[in-house]
Amino acid sequence: MNKEKLLPEYDVKVLLALTKSLHGDKLFFKYLAENGYLELAAWSNAVRGDIEALKWLFNNGYPILGLLSNAIDGEKKAVALVAESRNEFLIHFSQACRGNKQSYIWFKQNNLQIFVYMITEIKDVLKVQAKDSVFWYRWK
């Protein structure tokens, strides 16, 4: 079984590719998937609402990434589990993605600029998801 890495453990270039993948750039998604970062490719899709990608994370040894995706979405059980983990990064990251200004500032104060950028992208993804769910006439 693999040892799951936390996001801060990845090289900044990989995190930049992840951020581009979160934005929906298929070229960077493909880069992650083909260069040994399948878990990050899956996580970027899970954050974007892909349930199959989320299931893949849980079924393939990446429960923390799956939990983080759910916490970002504000799922109560996931938010509680992240809080119980007492992992400062996970707590602030999930909160900042949900709009908590103090957590967002925590990343700026700790000079974690790549995560400030990533959080901004995730917040944009969440806004689009919320907007799409309001326009019920788009549902098929």
Share of the chain above pLDDT 90, in %: 85
pLDDT tier for residue 1 given thresholds of 50, 70 and 90: very low
Give the mean pLDDT of 37-66.
97
Residue-level length of the chain: 140
Looking at every residue in the chain, the average pLDDT score rounds to 92
Mean pLDDT of 61-80: 97
Q: Distance (Å, rounded) from C-alpha 81 to C-alpha 110?
A: 24
Q: Which of 117, 104, 129 is nearest to 49 (CA)?
A: 129
Segment among 2-11, 80-89, 117-126, 130-139 with least mean pLDDT: 130-139
Domain residue spans of the chain: 9-138
- Give the rounded distance of the alpha carbon of 121 from its chain centre: 10
pLDDT value at residue 127:
78
| CA 36/CA 123 separation, integer angstroms | 26
Give the side-chain half-sphere CA count within 13 A for 105. 3
